[in-house]
């Protein structure tokens, strides 16, 4: 107990140095927390599941995937043709419609990327939306109900709504970019829960398909150039890896050599493919940035503790004369560093979690189809662990130096 009192007193002796060290620690822990949160989500979505997993079916040889809508039924069935064949427990199709609010000004503020899909699949197949708390799920289901009643409806993320300067209930015309000369009149029926889908948009696929049929009728039975390329992705939910393997074989047999050919892979593998252009950046974040920040943090703490030890050599010598053992002196130095590191690390991680998740609403760091990242709850112990680890690593040298202070040398200089 007395040792801890001495540790607190030592920290209060030079408040400015202690505060500056804590602020530096907090800044570096902030960086680590944000980087690890990005890496944690990437690791999560690219980790294969052992049950209730998802598969994604795309065109085999082309990105972006563009399959004919006629593939939909066979893919939804998992390529099953016989009574004993494996079948998915659920499915979802995605058709992408990219458009602009103003053909004369196609800037980012006017661009909207909409996923055309079956409205009810938003609550059963979309990651994170299928596991919402009861209150948020109730609101989402109410919004989905409005989308099902209004075929021209669209659900937008909060940030997308703000960028468009629109409100729920307003209507707008979206001029197709990938579907040239195809304009959709849409009405905003609601918003996604805040989080991963803040920049997303979803509409009823029936409206897009009906618009393509209308285009054909208006152009003398001539189909739109994209009419046979409207199906971009199909998601299947499968109970276990064994069913996935069977469904993969069935789909490969049915459509693997079609024109266009398709491929079936787990959602984790599919997302990893989407993230491939970012692999160098992810590698650098994991193996260059993170170690560099931790080493810098250890050096900051080491520098602060070293200065403190040098200034207190006489005091340490007196403590030895009074009966303090070398181990106790080492504990004093390590304890001071640990208190600074753990306290600053926990405070930094806690504030980062609260401010970014609940005030800012996520880190705007777009990678592939992830528009923003949130700080993971485990960041609270990350901050403590990083602060403690860096404090121990940085203070070990100064602690050994303090332990080795020789009374005779110190008093000889004083004399």
The per-residue pLDDT for 259 is: 87
**Helices and strands per DSSP (H, E), number in the chain:** 15, 9
pLDDT of residue 279: 82
Q: How far apart are CA 415 and CA 400, in angstroms?
A: 25
Helix (H, G, I), strand (E, B) or coil at 257: coil
Q: Maximum CA pair distance of the chain?
A: 107
pLDDT of 221? 93
Low-confidence ranges of the chain (pLDDT < 50): none
User: Using the 8-state DSSP alphabet, how is residue 170 labeled?
Assistant: -
DSSP line for 176-239: ETTTTT-EEEEEEEEEPPSSTTTT-EEEEHHHHHHHHHHHHHHTTTPPPTTTTS-B-EEEEEES
pLDDT at 392: 87
Name the token pair of 9.
């007193």
* b/e code 141-171 from CB counts within 10 Å (16+ = b): eebbebbeebebbbbbbbbbbebbeeeeeee
Q: What is the pLDDT of residues 288-312, one digit of tens each?
A: 888 898 888 888 888 888 888 888 7
For position 410, what pLDDT does the model report?
Answer: 63
**Which pTM was predicted?**
0.78
Confidence (pLDDT) at 368: 60
Output the pLDDT for position 414: 56
Predicted local distance difference test score (pLDDT) of residue 226: 94
Token representation of residue 180:
């040239």
Beta bridge partners of 153: 187
Token pair 């030895």 in the structure block, residue: 320
Radius of gyration of the chain (CA): 30
Residue 90 in 3-state DSSP?
strand
User: CA nearest 200: which of 153, 232, 158?
Assistant: 158
> Is the bond leading into 64 cis (omega within 30 degrees of zero)?
yes
Q: Which of 319, 309, 326 is nearest to 411 (CA)?
A: 319
- What's residue 332's pLDDT? 84
Q: Calculate the CA 184 to chain-centre distance.
A: 31
Q: Which helix (H) or strand (E) holds 156?
A: strand 153-156
pLDDT number for residue 369: 66
Looking at residue 413, what is its pLDDT? 62
Of 123, 96, 124, which is closest to residue 112 (Cα–Cα)? 96
349/158 Cα distance (integer angstroms) = 26
The model's pLDDT over 270-289, given as tens digits with 9 standing for 90+, comes to 777 777 777 888 888 888 88
Specify whether the CB–CB gap between 263 and 274 falls below 8 A.
no
Closest C-alpha among 388, 405, 401, 400 to residue 337: 388
């Amino acid at each position: 107990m007395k040792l801890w009192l001495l540790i607190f007193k030592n920290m209060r002796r030079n408040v400015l140095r202690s505060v500056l060290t804590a602020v530096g620690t907090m800044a570096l822990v902030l960086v680590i927390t944000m980087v690890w949160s990005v890496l944690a989500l990437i690791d999560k979505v690219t980790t294969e599941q052992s049950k209730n997993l998802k598969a994604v079916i795309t065109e085999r040889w082309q990105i972006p995937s563009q399959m004919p809508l006629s593939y939909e039924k066979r893919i939804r069935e998992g390529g099953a043709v016989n009574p004993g064949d494996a079948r998915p427990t659920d499915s979802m199709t995605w058709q992408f419609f990219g458009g602009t609010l103003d053909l004369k000004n196609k800037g980012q503020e006017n661009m909207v990327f909409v996923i055309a899909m079956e409205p009810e699949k938003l609550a059963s197949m979309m990651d994170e939306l299928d596991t919402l708390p009861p209150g948020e799920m109730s609101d989402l289901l109410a919004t989905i109900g409005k989308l099902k009643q209004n075929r021209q409806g669209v659900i937008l993320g909060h940030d997308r709504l703000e960028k468009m300067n629109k409100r729920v209930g307003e209507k707008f015309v979206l001029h197709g970019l990938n579907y040239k000369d195809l304009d959709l009149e849409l009405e905003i029926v609601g918003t996604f829960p805040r989080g991963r889908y803040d920049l997303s948009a979803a509409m009823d696929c029936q409206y897009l398909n009906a618009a393509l049929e209308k285009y054909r009728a208006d152009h003398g039975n001539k189909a739109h150039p994209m009419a046979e390329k409207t199906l971009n992705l199909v998601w299947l939910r499968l109970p276990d890896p064994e069913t996935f393997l069977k469904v993969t074989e069935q789909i490969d047999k049915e459509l693997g050599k079609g024109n266009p050919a398709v491929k079936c892979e787990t959602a984790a593998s599919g997302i990893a493919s989407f993230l491939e252009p970012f692999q160098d950046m992810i590698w650098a974040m994991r193996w260059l940035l993170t170690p560099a920040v931790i080493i810098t943090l250890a050096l900051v703490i080491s520098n602060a503790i070293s200065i403190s030890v040098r200034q207190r050599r006489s005091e340490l010598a007196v403590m030895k004369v009074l009966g303090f053992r070398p181990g106790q002196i080492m504990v004093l130095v390590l304890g001071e560093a640990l208190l600074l590191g753990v306290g600053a690390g926990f405070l930094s991680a806690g504030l980062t979690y609260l401010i970014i998740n609940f005030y800012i609403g996520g880190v705007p760091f777009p990678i592939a189809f992830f528009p923003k990242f949130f700080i993971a709850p485990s960041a609270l112990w990350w901050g403590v662990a990083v602060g403690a680890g860096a404090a121990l690593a940085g203070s070990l040298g100064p602690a050994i130096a303090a332990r080795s202070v020789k009374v005779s040398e110190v008093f000889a200089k004083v004399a």
